[in-house]
Amino acid sequence: MANASIDAIELSYSFEKDVGFDICKQIDYTDKTDILLWSFHLPWHHELCNIAHMNKDMRQNAVEMDKEIIKKCVSVGIKYGVIHPFGEPISINERPL
C-alpha cells in the first residue's frame, strides 16, 4: 500500500460478513506495512446496531456496542470515528408526531 502512496486507512466491518472481526488484530497488519489506522467507521445495522432505533433497549444495546468498539479503537491508536445517527427508511407509521 505504501507503494500506492497510502499512508493511512479507515477500518470498518459488516455484521453479516465479518463475524470474527477484531480491531486489535488489525494493528499487526498495519505495523507490518507502516500504515496508520486513522479512523473507524462504527458498525450500523437497521435492527442490530442503530442508535436511533425505535425500541429503547435496542438503542441502548447499540450505544453500549459503540462504546466498547470506541474503547478498542483508542487502545490501538485510532483517534477518529464515523457514526450513523439514524437509518432510513423510517416508516411513516413509526415516525414520532
Encode pLDDT of 8-66 as tens digits.
889 887 766 777 788 888 887 777 788 888 999 988 887 888 898 888 999 999 999 99
B/e letters for 13-23, b = 16+ CB within 10 Å, e = fewer, are beeeeeeeeeb
For the entire predicted model, the pTM comes to: 0.77
**Predicted pLDDT at 23:** 81
Cell of 9: 486507512
Residue 78 and residue 62: Cα distance in Å, rounded? 20
Edge-to-edge strands of the sheet including 8-12? 8-12, 36-41, 80-82
**Predicted pLDDT at 52:** 86
**Predicted pLDDT at 35:** 84
**Predicted pLDDT at 40:** 92
Averaged over 85-91, what is the pLDDT?
Answer: 72
Question: Does 78 have pLDDT greater than 80?
Answer: yes
